[in-house]
Amino acid sequence: MKIAVVGTGYVGLVSGTCFAEWGHEVICVDKNAEKIAGLLKGRLPIYEPDLDEMVARNQAAGRLAFTCDLAAAVANAQVVFIAVGTPSRPGQGDADLSFVYMAAREMAPFLAEGAVVAVKSTVPVSTGDAVEKIIAHARPYGSFSVASNPEFLREGAAIGDFLKPDRVVVGVEDGRARAVMAALYQEALGETPLVFTDRRTSELIKYAANAFLATKITFINELADLCEKVDCNVGELALGIGLDRRIGTSFLNAGPGYGGSCFPKDTLALLRTAQDYGVVLRIVEETIVANEARKRKMALKVIEAVGGDVEGLTIAVLGLTFKPDTDDMREAPSVPLIETLQRYGAVVRAYDPVGLQNAARLLEDVTLLDDPYECARNSDAVVVLTEWDSIRRIDLGRLRRLVRTPVLVDLRNALEPGAASAAGFHVSVVGQRSEHAEWANPTTDEPDFEKTASGLPRMVRGK
Ligand code: NAD
């Protein structure tokens, strides 16, 4: 099948490459000329394990091409995927659909007869209807279909998720689109469920899935707080509940709150849709507020670990990206955590194996280093924020010899607490009573967040 993918970011590049891997003829389009020029020279715009090798292989086989020329790319395509960004509109919370609508407007005059335009971007209910109107306006006598095909891949495990998904969801409004999308996926996926729905339900499925997972993370984070107070172990608790198949073990790792390019913006957009239709989604609302509060609360945990005052102290942060195996810094908990520590007077040094370039655009006055030991040198506390393998495997003895004060705050429970203690660190973890709890002087237990009249959370800055 001939496929065009519009938007060559985390989703578009992975999807296009995987479709090519399945034997389809794929052309990926992007407005960003620098990105396309890099890809043509074999330089990937994102970090995703094993993607470079797969891109190169499919390029060499002539199944995968890159271009800025949208008209040429869509002219012969039987399926055109829209995989452009749908970021949160600042201060509003709803999804900014301007990139989706612009892509639809720009491709409309050049689409092949009978083409299926499949929206892979995460978009609110009824966006497919709007895309259909935009295209119909430009080609009133042309035949085409608009389908919804939300993407569920996770950064860091994107290739595996795409090639072997739990399910594929496709929303269609006509038989031709259904037949084309079935032909595209069925042969490659074998027994994997292909869930066909109407277009609107498919659009909502993506938001419902992300809101549910965000809620699961927030649930275990709140129980982690209780574990710390009542001297229980949240890791054991998560296993104890997660092995119940009705619950499941994934997304039950207590930590500094969810971040990334999807959960924060998608929960907000879902809430905004519900508000527009006069529906109360109280659980989603509380999840958003609790998660925002948690990021700041984690900074207070670090401050407690050093004795209640971080003014003038040097804090070494290990890991900046929102999770390991990606260079994505969008909504990473490291940013609000570092900013809060800085507001309280800390000097921050930070290490990340691949995220430094993106981090440099978001962080100010932070010394960024590509070596974890150099980062920890002469620090007053080491904070583990992303569970990269290089951090999990860190030599704790060497780390101990480099720091000024042996305080370790592990916000991902990534290190073996016994080993860190044995190396001479005072260790704070998430969801277990910490050595510091007795002598620390908590600044405040209550995070400074409030709900605005619109129901969206707003941070009330303390200092
Ligand atoms: P991204 O920002 O990495 O990539 C989007 C790309 O689209 C950019 O390269 C941009 O230059 C390009 N673009 C924008 N307008 C264009 C146009 N008119 N023509 C051509 N190219 C254009 O975004 P992403 O992370 O890949 O996310 C894309 C969508 O997929 C979003 O809706 C997101 O919510 C959803 N999604 C993302 C993930 C993820 O893990 N990143 C997972 C599932 C779904």
Domain boundaries for CATH 3.40.50.720 within the chain? 2-197, 198-463
Measuring CA to CA, which residue among 52, 58, 66 is closest to residue 8? 66
Measuring CA to CA, which residue among 441, 385, 445 is closest to residue 415? 385
Measuring CA to CA, which residue among 64, 46, 41 is closest to residue 54? 64
Residue 442's pLDDT is 43
Q: Record the pTM.
A: 0.92
Place of tokens 């519009």: 6
Residue 290's pLDDT is 97
100 C-beta neighbours (distance < 10 Å), count:
26
Tens-digit pLDDT profile for residues 271-299: 999 999 999 999 999 999 999 999 889 99
% residues pLDDT > 90 (the chain): 90
How far is it, in rounded angstroms, from Cα 408 to Cα 382? 5
How far is it, in rounded angstroms, from Cα 363 to Cα 347? 13
CATH number of the structural domain 2-197: 3.40.50.720
Nearest protein CA to atom 15 of ligand 1, as residue: 99
% residues pLDDT > 70 (the chain): 94
Residue 445 has pLDDT above 60, yes or no: no
Cβ contact 60:87 at 8 Å: no
Which secondary structure element, helix H or strand E, spans residue 429, and what is its range?
strand 426-429
How are beta strands 144-148 and 407-410 bridged, if at all? unpaired
Residues in the chain, total: 463
| Ligand 1 pocket, CB under 6 A | 6-12, 29-32, 35, 83-86, 99, 102-103, 106, 121-122, 151, 153, 155, 261-262
Cβ contact 184:1 at 8 Å: yes
Ligand 1 atom having least distance to the Cα of 11: 26
How far is it, in rounded angstroms, from Cα 159 to Cα 177? 25
CATH number of the structural domain 198-463: 3.40.50.720
Residue 434's pLDDT is 72
How far is it, in rounded angstroms, from Cα 19 to Cα 24? 6
Catalytic (active site) residue 232: no
Residues whose CB falls within 8 Å of the CB of residue 57, separated by 6 or more in sequence, listed in order? none
Tens-digit pLDDT profile for residues 380-417: 999 999 999 999 999 999 999 999 999 999 999 999 98
How far is it, in rounded angstroms, from Cα 316 to Cα 383? 6
Angle between helical axes of 282-305 and 199-230 (0-180°, round to 10): 40
pLDDT bucket at 436, cuts 50 / 70 / 90: low
